[in-house]
């Protein structure tokens, strides 16, 4: 069965976005994602391996609107940034869009909430695992509220945080008001741009 992995960047003071209308990250929030375009070989390897094992990705509607918007992703900055992958993409939304700009990607829109989206993503990841002959994961990409909800609901088995060496001071916190969870640290990889920390969620 495919693992459910929550994967996101976070500031040293625990924020996943900053306020502001500029993009999904807010004004100055792009500092959280320097590692995605880093030349550091360990960052590149971490991103490449994560993209390669992603069978399906779950994201919220706000993030979809940014990704599929006119200034959103393209062939050079797709899923996995420079390590562009094309897993199935499952969007949690109450209102599916009338059209999709990135029509070459495999989109599924789920209106029954997060559990339905995770179930749909798991089905897609397991089908891709069978056809590809290797185990592939379901990755919860965000936003922060979606991942916090998934952690609170107990559906996340692995949490990977990319802790950026930046203090944002304000924004959307990942864990405020969260249901208590025990984490077991599995690995820590420090690079020139970020510290990648992976936990098992109990």
Q: Please tell me the predicted confidence (pLDDT) of residue 83.
A: 47
Count the domains in the chain. Answer: 1
Q: Please tell me the predicted confidence (pLDDT) of residue 26.
A: 63
Tokens of 63: 């993030």
Task: For residue 175, count CB atoms less than 10 angstroms from its CB and return exposed for 0-12, middle for 13-18, buried for 19 or more.
Answer: middle
Q: Please tell me the predicted confidence (pLDDT) of residue 81.
A: 44
Tokens of 137: 């994961």
Q: Distance (Å, rounded) from C-alpha 138 to C-alpha 121?
A: 6
pLDDT tens by residue, 99-141: 999 888 899 999 999 999 999 999 999 999 999 899 999 999 9
Q: Distance (Å, rounded) from C-alpha 106 to C-alpha 92?
A: 14
**Weakly modelled stretches of the chain, pLDDT under 50:** 80-83
Contact 82, 154 (CB under 8 A): no
Tokens of 198: 């992976």
| Residue 75's CATH number | 3.40.430.10
Expressed as residue numbers, the domain containing 193 is 4-201
């Amino acid at each position: 069965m495919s693992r459910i992995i929550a994967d996101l960047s976070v500031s040293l003071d625990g924020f996943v976005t900053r306020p502001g209308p500029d993009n999904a990250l807010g004004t100055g929030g792009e500092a959280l994602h320097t590692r995605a375009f880093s030349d550091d070989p360990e960052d590149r390897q971490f991103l490449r391996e994560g993209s390669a094992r992603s069978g399906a990705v779950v994201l919220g509607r706000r993030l979809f609107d940014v990704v599929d918007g006119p200034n959103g992703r393209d062939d050079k900055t797709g899923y996995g940034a420079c390590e562009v992958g094309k897993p199935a993409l499952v969007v949690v939304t109450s209102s599916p869009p009338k059209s999709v700009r990135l029509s070459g990607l495999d989109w599924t829109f789920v209106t029954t909430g997060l559990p339905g989206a995770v179930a749909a993503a798991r089905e897609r990841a397991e089908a891709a695992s069978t056809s590809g002959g290797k185990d592939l994961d379901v990755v919860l990409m965000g936003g922060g509220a979606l991942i916090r909800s998934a952690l609170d609901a107990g559906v996340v088995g692995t949490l990977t945080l990319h802790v950026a060496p930046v203090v944002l001071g304000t924004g959307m916190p990942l864990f405020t008001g969260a249901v208590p969870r025990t984490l077991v640290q599995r690995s820590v990889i420090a690079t020139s741009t970020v510290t990648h920390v992976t936990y098992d969620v109990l």
